[in-house]
Chains A and B, each alone.
Chain A
Amino acid sequence: MGSTTGPRRPVHRIATGAVALLAAVGLITACGSGDGGSGGGNGGGGAANAKGVDDGTKLTMWTRAATRPQSEALVKAYNANHDNEIELTVIPTDDYQAKVGAAAGSGDLPDLFASDVVFVPNYTSSGLFSDLTDRVDALPFADSLAQSHIKAGTYEGKKYVVPHTLDLSVLFYNKDLYREAKLDPEKPPTTLAEWDEQARAVDALGGDVSGTFFGGNCGGCGVFTWWPSIWAADEDVLNEEGTEADLASDTARKVYDTYRGWVQDDIVAPGARDETGATWTGVFPKGKVGVMPMPSTTLGLMPEDLDLGVAPIPGPDGGKSTFVGGDAVGISATSKSADQAWNFLAWSLDDEAQVDVVAANKDVVARTDLASNKHSEADPRLVTINELVAHGRTPYALKFGQTFNDPNGPWLALMRDAVFGDGSSVAKDNDAVTASLGD
């Protein structure tokens, strides 16, 4: 037909395809070669001095948005008094796991990164942190560090993290509403039954006042605030290895029954059923809730005019416990400045930083020997919270996130059946939790 382009078309196609394929293969090879990012750490630190090195190195650090104020305060104070400089990046809490995972895969982790303490075992077992055993042990106050964080960060006998920010679950109660309900504002509940009575007494005030509140569609909230009631009875919810759940025990059922009673009798503020965790701490500060468990880090954010008391979370028959949450921090296995990074970590745990930065900010100190300090003495609520660290626990499980924090995970199904349903599938749901832990 006289076309001059006709015979060339296949050549074009082949050539275009070849160029595309070559580029793709080349890039795949390039990507593939970068896989082993997490090796080569140099953080053993056996010979390094206990205070690290302060030589003007620029360090990078990641933290999650949930604990931003605490991390920012520490980094700001450190940068003001040291030659080293830390550049802090705050990452949205929901994206944190994915971001750390992706960075680990490509060898792009920062020098230091904090993590929600419950996810730490996942990172230590994957080799993301440098071994800090010798450095931690060399600290003069090593034994006073929050042991639940240290335990969560210990893997195969080696310590990988230190406590960074502590966030404890405690009962907050509104003293004004207690007075109105003819309850003694200096006598917070010491058993689950008393908590139940007091919540109902406040709820009876009527109007828009409610007895209590909780995040009913938030697995993390349930873990954080319900488990202490089980621990207070000296029972555990997971086995030592974090591979088996015991969330259908009699004690656990007593806790669920109490919450279910509140739901059935409308003692709970509106919205508990839908609460995914995004706004659950915003209800109490409005002054219309009697008594509810909350994170201790919210104490510093409460309105000045709200007369509130703080108490440990009790078990069904007494006792007290708390979920020692918050963030632990470690040096990434790929950091080239482990000594400098350690300088920040060691400083962040010393007396000055803990008292003048952490305690001054009404936050929980990471050391039990500083539970009582000049700031806490001015506010007895801080002493109550600080002293709880020794009674608290931090659960350990490699599959914690996918089992307990995942909104589509098995723990949330258990929780919701136990309080919004009739509780009939708790045993079956407990099996599903165990299956997920071992998955």
Chain B
Amino acid sequence: MQVKAPGRATHASPARPEHPVRPRPTTPLWRSRTAQGLAYAAPTAVFVAVFFLLPLLLVGQMSLSDWPLLAGDRGGNAPENYTDVTDSPLFWPAIRFTLLYTVLVTVVLLGLALLLALLVQESRPAAGFFRTVYFLPGAVGLASASLLFWGLYSPTTGPLSRILESLGLVDDPVSFLGSPTSALLSTVFLVVWKFAGFYMLILLVGLQRIPHEVYEAARTDGASRGQIFRSITLPLLRPSLALSLLLCVTGSLLAFDQFFILTKGGPDNSTVTIVQLIYREAFQRLDLGTAAALSIIVLGALLLLNVLQFRGLRRADES
């Protein structure tokens, strides 16, 4: 037999006294919670719309249009810009080079940053001094640092080549940016010099969050330095390492300033990065549509990569 729930009676019943229906006080719309909420959200919403959404929408629109930099018809041409992207003979070499550069920089930079962080981790005499010295290059802008190194590397006017000559290490002026390999390594050297201190700082914060008690317990158990590093430092440093990795990989995939100033993609187009290719499409070939399409592709690739990295990070945290 079906038991009817109280209050669900089908027969007509008098108004339930326990729930008297009272007319809600009428508040003007502008004082309602919704309106207030909207007012609070509006400044941020406008900010996000103007500085994040609008540029993205514009780039999206550009990527679907024939959009020359100079005045002209800006009609839609989808998906031509996307299919044209691979037409440039520089496209695949630029992807290969950008990936090679990213791997090289990430390995060298994070390795050195970790080493520096370990060196200045403890409060030894002069540790503060060294932390400052390592971090100092990080305070120089990348474009300024690139110009500085461009001057240093110059075989005609730079001092590096002359110093090597006066030391008798080389006979002729050294062309640091003259061959594909040396141009790549010279740029990597600049980037490592510039950013090692910055990543050292991130890792240092991570290192200092590891409780001393854990180390003490390990030492009491007779663990060697290597064991402590492998079994305690590295696993507990994982969040900081993951953050550094994310920043370093994203930054390297978007490399532009250093190559634009140091090598201009040369010698012989051996150091053209993806972002340089975007710049070239936009400002040398004056074709904003293709440049925008390339930008959207790079954005998509970076989003995918970051999602994968975040997933990996989260899984590592859970485990």
Contacting pair B284 A15 (CB below 8 A) = no
Least CB distance from B270 to A in Å reads 10
Q: How far is the CB of A157 from chain B (nearest CB, A)?
A: 21
Q: Which of B146-193 contact A (CB under 8 A)?
A: 154-157, 172-173, 175, 177-178
Cross-chain contact B267 with A416 (CB below 8 angstroms): yes
Given contacts A31-B58, A126-B71, A270-B172, are A408 and B42 in contact (CB under 8 A)?
no
Chain B residue nearest to A432 (CB atoms) is: B89
* A:10-29 near B, CB below 8 Å: 11-12, 15-17, 19-24, 27-28
A102 and B69 contact, Cβ closer than 8 Å, known pairs A16-B41, A413-B269: yes
In contact, A97 and B177 (Cβ under 8 angstroms): no
In the complex the two chains form, is B54's CB within 8 Å of A27's CB?
Answer: yes
Is the beta-carbon distance between B156 and A270 smaller than 8 angstroms? yes
Instruction: Kindly list chain B residues whose C-beta atoms are within 8 Å of the C-beta of A409.
Output: 284
Q: Is A68 an interface residue (CB 8 A)?
A: no
Indicate whether A401 reaches chain B with its CB closer than 8 angstroms: yes
The yes or no answer to B289 lying at the interface (CB within 8 A) is no
- Which residues from B are CB-within-8-Å of A23? 45-46, 49-50, 54
Contacts of B154 in A (CB 8 A): 271, 274, 279
**Shortest CB distance B277–A (Å):** 8
Binary flags per residue of B251-272, CB closer than 8 Å to A gives 1, else 0: 0000000000000111111001
For residue B48, CB closer than 8 A to chain A, the reply is yes
B70 with A126: CB separation less than 8 A: yes
**A419 to chain B: closest CB distance in Å?**
12
Asked whether A105 lies within 8 Å of B58 as measured between CB atoms, the reply is no
Q: Is B106 an interface residue (CB 8 A)?
A: no
Q: Are B46 and A8 in contact (CB under 8 A)?
A: no
Contact flags A397-423 to B (C-beta < 8 A → 1, else 0): 000011001111100110010000000
B49 touches A98 (CB 8 A): no
Smallest distance from the beta carbon of A237 to chain B beta carbons, Å?
20
Task: From A8, A128, A405, A407, give the contact of B266 (CB < 8 A).
Answer: A407
For A17, the chain B residues whose CB sits under 8 A away are: 45
**B70–A104 touching, CB < 8 Å:** yes
Cβ of B33 < 8 Å from any Cβ of A? yes
Q: List 13 A-B contacts (CB under 8 A).
A: A20-B45, A23-B45, A97-B283, A105-B69, A105-B71, A122-B286, A127-B71, A270-B172, A271-B173, A282-B156, A401-B284, A412-B266, A416-B267
Q: Note all chain A residues with C-beta closer than 8 A to B177.
A: 274
Bound complex: CA of A12 vs CA of B156, how far in Å? Answer: 63
Q: A20-B48, A416-B268 are in contact. Are A37 and B41 (CB under 8 A)?
A: no
Residues from chain B with Cβ under 8 Å of A31 in the complex = 58
- For the complex, give the distance between the alpha carbons of A103 and B156 in Å: 37
**CB-nearest residue of chain A to B38:** A15
Bound-complex Cα distance A123 to B33 (A): 56
Other A-B pairs, 9, CB within 8 Å; known A127-B71, A271-B175, A407-B264? A21-B53, A28-B54, A28-B58, A98-B69, A104-B71, A105-B70, A122-B70, A279-B154, A412-B266
Contacts of A115 in B (CB 8 A): none
Q: A15-B41, A19-B41, A408-B90 are contacts. A273–B178 as well, Cβ < 8 Å?
A: yes
Tell me whether A217 is interfacial, beta carbon within 8 Å: yes
The distance in angstroms between the C-alpha atoms of A97 and B286, with both chains bound, is: 9
Q: Is B295 an interface residue (CB 8 A)?
A: no
* Residue numbers in B under 8 Å from A38 (CB-CB): 71
Rounded to whole Å, the gap between the CB of A242 and the closest CB of chain B is: 16
| Contact (A123, B70) CB under 8 Å given A408-B272, A409-B284, A413-B269 | yes
Do B34 and A11 touch (CB < 8 A)?
yes
B238 within 8 A of A: no
Is there contact, CB below 8 Å, between A269 and B156? yes
Instruction: Kindly count the residue-residue contacts between A and B in the assembled complex, taking CB atoms under 8 Å apart.
Output: 138
B residues contacting the other copy or chain, number (CB 8 A): 47
Residues facing A in B26-74 (CB within 8 A) are 33-34, 37-38, 41-42, 44-46, 48-50, 53-54, 57-58, 61, 68-72, 74
Measured CA separation A248–B48 after assembly (Å): 54
State whether the Cβ of A299 lies closer than 8 Å to any Cβ in chain B: no
- From residue A433, how far is it (CB to closest CB) to chain B in Å? 13
Q: Hey, which chain A residues are within 8 Å of B37, CB to CB?
A: 8, 11-12, 15
Interface centre among A22, A37, A217 (most CB of B within 10 A): A217
Task: Look across to chain A and name the residue whose beta carbon is closest to the beta carbon of B177.
Answer: A274
Q: Mark A75-100, 1 if CB is under 8 A from B, else 0.
A: 00000000000000000000001100
- The distance in angstroms between the C-alpha atoms of A66 and B58, with both chains bound, is 33
A38 to B74, CA, bound (A): 14
Find the A residue at minimum CB distance from B46. A23
B46 & A406 in contact (Cβ 8 Å cutoff): no
- Within B250-308, which residues are at the interface with A (CB < 8 Å)? 264-269, 272, 276, 280, 282-286
A35 in the interface, Cβ–Cβ < 8 Å? yes
- Assess whether B269 is in contact with A12, with CB atoms less than 8 Å apart: no
B147 to chain A minimum Cβ distance, whole angstroms, is: 10
Q: In the bound complex, how far is the Cα of B37 from the Cα of A66, in angstroms? A: 55
Give the docked Cα–Cα distance between A98 and B288 (Å): 11
Is A274 within 8 A of B70, CB to CB? no
Would you give the shortest CB distance from B70 to chain A, in whole angstroms? 4
Contact of B53 among A20, A128, A401 (CB under 8 A): A20
Interface check A372, CB cutoff 8 A? no
Interface contact A35-B45, CB-CB below 8 Å: no
Is A24 touching B71 in the complex (CB atoms < 8 A)?
A: no
* Chain B residue at minimal CB-CB distance from A405: B284
Which residues 38-75 in A have Cβ within 8 Å of B in the complex?
38
Residue from the list B33, B42, B72, B284 in contact with A8, Cβ < 8 A: B33
Closest to A12 in B: B37
CB nearest neighbor in A for B269? A408
Docked complex: B183-233 residues within 8 A CB-CB of A: none
B-side contacts of A37, CB under 8 Å: 71
Task: Say how far A318's CB is from chain B's closest CB, in angstroms.
Answer: 32
* Complex alpha-carbon distance, A125 and B138, angstroms: 46
* A276 touching B49 in the complex, CB below 8 Å, given contacts A128-B71, A283-B156, A408-B280: no
CB distance from A396 to the nearest CB of B (A): 17
* A287 at interface by CB-CB < 8 Å: no
Q: In the assembled complex, how far is the CB of residue B53 from the closest CB belonging to chain A, in whole angstroms?
A: 5
7 smallest CB-CB distances across A and B, nearest first, come from: A271-B156, A101-B69, A23-B49, A38-B71, A407-B264, A20-B49, A19-B45
Whether B155 pairs with A271 at a CB distance below 8 angstroms is: yes
Q: Among A24, A37, A105, A217, find the residue whose CB has the most chain B CB atoms closer than 10 A.
A: A24
Chain B residues with Cβ below 8 Å from A269 are: 156
Which residues on the B side are within 8 Å of A20 (C-beta)?
45-46, 48-49, 53
